[in-house]
């Protein structure tokens, strides 16, 4: 093969490679200027035709660089439900995506700090964002309920009821739509067997109820002992305040017992 032919082949390969590279980096808006067959073949091959992602967009997953070396970042509190109720639906929609981006950024920074074994400043920021998002969902659900009650007379929520699970404990079951009716859907019957029984389940329920009773009894005795210690050390303590704080304790009955009197000499006016 002659040297002239080899040079021609090399030039053709170079031109084709450059043309295909420019074709890949072209934006999707420029594709209609090409032939429909070429565009269809390129899209079927799964080749991305959008512009390359800039590094500035990826940096939105990270916090401001000036906060990277700090141990504390000044932040505010979470959004309250009363503050969100006065906002419009458009503002709530915008705020939701702001909180979503903030949550993704905080989770990314937390993972990066754990990977680099560094201190993540103010980890309570994640909790504040979650509380804000929960309050926002509550406000949106309230508005949806009010709209559906006004239009249809129903809440629009999924119907739910209290049932007993396999351990005999009360739980909330939310209904959902199925193609087959319940008596024909054998798969649903096997997976949603809400009945319970057997000697082991009844023994578990006895132990569980005994545990709940003991916890309630210990909490009541603990509150009673706290009231006795307060009255013993401070006989002139405000009784109305004690009754509001310890509503389950009979304070008038405790005052007549010897344990609340304490070891002190009453003052006698001369």
Give the pLDDT score at 30. 45
Q: State the DSSP code for 165.
A: -
Q: From CA 267, how far away is CA 7, in angstroms rounded?
A: 118
Give the pLDDT score at 190. 75
Helices (H), the chain: 3-25, 36-44, 55-58, 81-85, 89-115, 124-151, 186-191, 199-233, 239-245, 251-255
Query: How is residue 236 written in tokens?
Result: 């002139």
Tell me how crowded residue 42 is: count the other CB atoms within 10 A of its CB: 16
Report whether 105 contacts 62 (CB < 8 A).
yes
Please give the chain's pLDDT, 270 residues, in tens: 455 545 555 655 554 554 434 444 444 444 444 444 433 433 333 333 344 445 567 777 777 777 777 777 888 889 999 999 999 999 999 999 999 999 988 898 888 888 888 888 888 889 999 999 999 999 999 999 999 999 998 888 888 888 888 888 888 888 888 888 878 888 877 776 666 778 888 999 999 999 999 999 999 999 999 988 888 888 888 888 888 888 888 888 888 887 777 665 555 565
Q: From CA 137, how far away is CA 141, in angstroms rounded?
A: 6
pTM of the model: 0.53
Give the pLDDT score at 20. 39
Give the pLDDT score at 195. 63
Q: From CA 76, how far away is CA 28, in angstroms rounded?
A: 42
Query: How is residue 233 written in tokens?
Result: 């050390």
User: Between helices 89-115 and 124-151, what is the axis angle to 10°?
Assistant: 150
**Which tens digit of pLDDT belongs to each residue from 11-33?**
555 545 544 344 444 444 444 44
């Amino acid at each position: 093969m002659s040297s002239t032919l080899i040079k021609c082949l090399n030039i053709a390969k170079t031109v084709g490679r450059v043309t295909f590279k420019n074709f890949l980096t072209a934006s999707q808006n420029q594709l209609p200027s090409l032939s429909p067959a070429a565009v269809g073949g390129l899209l079927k091959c799964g080749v991305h035709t959008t512009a390359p992602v800039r590094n500035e967009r990826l940096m939105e997953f990270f916090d401001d660089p000036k906060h990277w070396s700090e141990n504390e970042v000044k932040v505010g509190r979470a959004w309250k439900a009363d503050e969100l109720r006065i906002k419009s639906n458009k503002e709530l929609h915008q705020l939701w995506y702001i909180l979503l981006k903030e949550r993704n950024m905080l989770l990314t920074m937390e993972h990066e700090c754990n990977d680099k074994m560094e201190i993540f400043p103010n980890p309570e920021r994640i909790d504040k964002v979650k509380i804000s998002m929960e309050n926002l969902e509550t406000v949106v659900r309230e508005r949806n309920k009010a709209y559906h009650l006004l239009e249809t007379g129903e809440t629009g929520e999924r119907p739910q009821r209290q049932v007993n699970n396999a351990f005999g404990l009360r739980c909330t079951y939310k209904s959902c739509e199925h193609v087959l009716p319940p008596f024909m859907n054998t798969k649903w019957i096997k997976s949603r067997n809400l009945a319970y029984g057997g000697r082991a389940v009844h023994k578990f329920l006895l132990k569980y109820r005994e545990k709940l009773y003991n916890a309630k009894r210990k909490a009541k005795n603990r509150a009673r002992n706290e009231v006795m210690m307060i009255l013993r050390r401070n006989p002139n303590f405000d009784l109305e305040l004690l009754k509001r704080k310890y509503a389950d304790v009979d304070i008038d009955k405790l005052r007549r017992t010897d344990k609340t009197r304490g070891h002190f000499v009453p003052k006698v006016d001369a």
